[in-house]
A and B are shown apart, each in its own frame.
Chain A
Amino acid sequence: MRASTFYKTLPLFLIIVFLIPVVAVWPQHGAALFAHPQWQQLKTIFIGIFLEAFPFILMGVFLSSLLQLFVKDEWIARWCPRNPVIGVVFAALLGIVLPICECGMIPVVRRLMLKGLPAHIAVTFILSGPILNPVVFAATMMAFRSHSEIAYGRMGLAFAVAALIGLIIYRLCRRNPLKRSLQEFGTQGAGTGNHQHPKTWNSFFTHAGDELFEMSKYVVLGTFLTAVIQTTIPRDELLALGNGPISSYGLMMGFAFVLSLCSTSDAFVASAFSHVLTTGPLLSFLVLGPMLDFKSLLMLFATFKPKFVIGLSLLIIVLVFTGSVAVDMIL
């Protein structure tokens, strides 16, 4: 778009932006206009998830900004294990010392990948980090007080799935799976080297803000869809879809995908199902949810090539399904 066209449309934006404070000082009338119970519930759930995720996203973009300014690319190359198996195991266990949830993780990992972190390590960390950490273990233990095997099964299955996917990516994925636009900007910055950004506080905050905007459009979309599904489809109707032995796995995995819960709180929600379901479907819910849901899928699309994301999602679904069926048989 030419710059002159942009100026003509600029006032339009400003009206939208200034509308917000206007509405803020006019709450009572505005409230009456939209006070339909369905909208109301949608708002309560939507704002709830958004506000819950926001501190973690902010933390993620700040961390990413710090990495951008202060961590040299060579450090990553030197510090990364060469052996793929050691690398994948190391990445899968990294969550124990770095308990960040998926919202905060993707900006950080994306930055590390631009600085040369190999894809198999990055993806393993994205998948295992939100599950394999002490906070989530304690929460799962609390929710399934007398069924500690579910907490152990969750940790074990998450480790197995994440490590296996990491190894598969190492074998099969030779090209950089990052989105092309991101790659170009990465090489542009590192390659020519004629364009260094000053390391000032101002550029630190501006950088964090740019990344915040880039991430939040995906988070808002994912959060909104989640809230729409939660407020329109009753849980019983969802449950009725899956009362067979196999379909209950599909149901719980689908449920985990659309709910987009935080990995620290989903165990409690899962425990509400424990009187109708066996260990297997519960595990598939607990392991799939933090690895793949609306919110994180959209954030993945912001980072990786679409083909890679689709392949990764299918791989997660298949592995979590087979894994939880296997655990169900053993236990």
Chain B
Amino acid sequence: MDSFGLKHRSHYFIRAILLCCLAFYIIGLNNSDALHYYLAPHMQRLLLLCPIPLLFIAFGMLWHAIMGDSAQICDCEHPLPGGLLKSSGVYGMFAIPLLFGLLLPDQALGSDMAAKKGIVYSFPDPEFEHKPKPADTFVPALSTLDEMFIPRDIYSVEFSELAKRLYPLPVIQVDPLIFSETIGAIDMYKEHFADKKIVLQGFVFREEDMPPDSFALTRFLVMCCTADAVPFGVLARGDVVSDLEEDAWIELEGTIGVGNVNGEERLQITVDQIRSVEQPASPYIFTHPDSVAAFDAQS
């Protein structure tokens, strides 16, 4: 074996080990139920397709390093990194995510990050209120659900269907699976949902300029991964809330009403009761492809 071959073999050996580590890191994350700290469910499924091909690549490289004859070992197309500095740069780069992953515990984003990202109080379309509302013209004396919850366009059919199902409930239990859709539906028809009872879970977050008797019950809404996580808050108000600590996970029981944030009408819950709870196994919330079907399946 000439020295040229040995150098290349060792490069491939290191690569194979790094790829193995990455594959096992992904498998480990999945086994310890920690993937949801980073990715939305549909992205998790995609990621879980990766470890097997990765191990195949690692095996191919290992084979190449041990068994490959010198004719096969060449660096055409993909030059191997040159000097010590370059090699450690390339492999160090690859090792950074692994080191981060293993050195720090898996932890959900909290109120510190909510402050940095800027909290959102309503589902995607905050300008909804400024649009003409067909429902407004005949608000009094509505009898059937279909008349109360008229979708404003084809994109809000899902919310109006969900609202029709939520309205008859004596107490609305917000299911974390369809958290953002439930709040979105209630927010869209908040005039009808006024004075209804609601129970929901989240962590306590206070904006800097908030009065002491109010806070935002917050969940991070993740579309694909933590980079696009949006702190999704519901305004809550009550006498007993001033001693709540930031980041504390609570279950809130209250009455739906309308409040005011920076001059805009927002859904606001008047607190009846607060219980502290453990942080749920899956602290983030995700958008659901069909919240109505999910609701029907639950009940």
Contacts and interface: CB of A to CB of B under 8 A. Distances in A.
B235 to A, nearest CB: 16
B89 A217 contact: yes
B165 interface: no
Interface string A25-69: 001001101110101111111111111101100100010000000
Given A1-B84, A3-B7, A31 B105 contact: yes
A146 B95 contact: no
Contact of A259 (B53, B61, B227): B227
Interface stretch (A84-92, A124-132, A241-249, A263-271): A263-271
Interface string B215-241: 000000001111111100000000000
Given A31-B103, A48-B39, A203-B72, A214 B78 contact: yes
Interface string B98-115: 111111111111101101
A31 B18 contact: no
A17 interface: yes
Interface string B18-48: 1101000010100000010111000100110
Contact of B228 (A147, A235, A265, A275): A265
Looking at chain B's contact residues, is the secondary structure mostly helix, strand, loop, or mixed? Answer: helix
A272 B3 CA distance: 59
Contact of B109 (A20, A41, A217): A41
A287 interface: no
Interface residues of A, number: 97
Given A35-B104, A205-B61, A213-B94, A275 B264 contact: yes
B207 to A, nearest CB: 10
A71 interface: no
B174 interface: no
Looking at chain A's contact residues, is the secondary structure mostly helix, strand, loop, or mixed? Answer: helix
B88 interface: yes
Contact of A16 (B38, B72, B92): B92
Nearest to A227: B227
Contacts of A44: 37-38, 106-109, 226
Contacts of B14: 13-14, 17
A275 B127 CA distance: 6
A185 interface: yes
Contacts of A206: 12, 57, 60-61, 64
Nearest to A14: B14
B60 A6 contact: no
Nearest to A111: B77
B57 A212 contact: yes
Interface stretch (B118-126, B193-201, B267-275, B291-299): B118-126
Contact of A189 (B46, B77, B98, B127): B77
B57 A3 contact: no
A285 to B, nearest CB: 13
Given A55-B47, A189-B77, A201-B60, A17 B95 contact: yes
B93 interface: yes
Given A41-B112, A47-B38, A220-B97, A31 B104 contact: yes
Interface of A: 1, 3-7, 9-10, 12-14, 16-17, 20-21, 23-24, 27, 30-31, 33-35, 37, 39-52, 54-55, 58, 62, 141-147, 181, 185, 188-189, 195, 197-198, 201-214, 216-217, 220-221, 224, 226-227, 230-231, 233-236, 239, 259-262, 264-266, 268-269, 271-272, 274-275
Q: Which 9 pairs of residues, A with B, have the shortest CB-CB distance?
A: A205-B60, A48-B226, A145-B155, A265-B223, A52-B225, A210-B78, A48-B225, A209-B57, A217-B93
Interface of B: 3-4, 6-7, 10, 12, 14-15, 17-19, 21, 26, 28, 35, 37-39, 43, 46-47, 49-50, 53-54, 56-61, 63-64, 72, 74, 76-79, 82-84, 87-110, 112-113, 115-118, 120, 124-128, 131, 152-153, 155-156, 223-230, 264
Given A13-B14, A49-B227, A220-B94, 8 more contacts: A20-B95, A45-B227, A51-B225, A52-B43, A142-B124, A146-B156, A217-B90, A269-B230
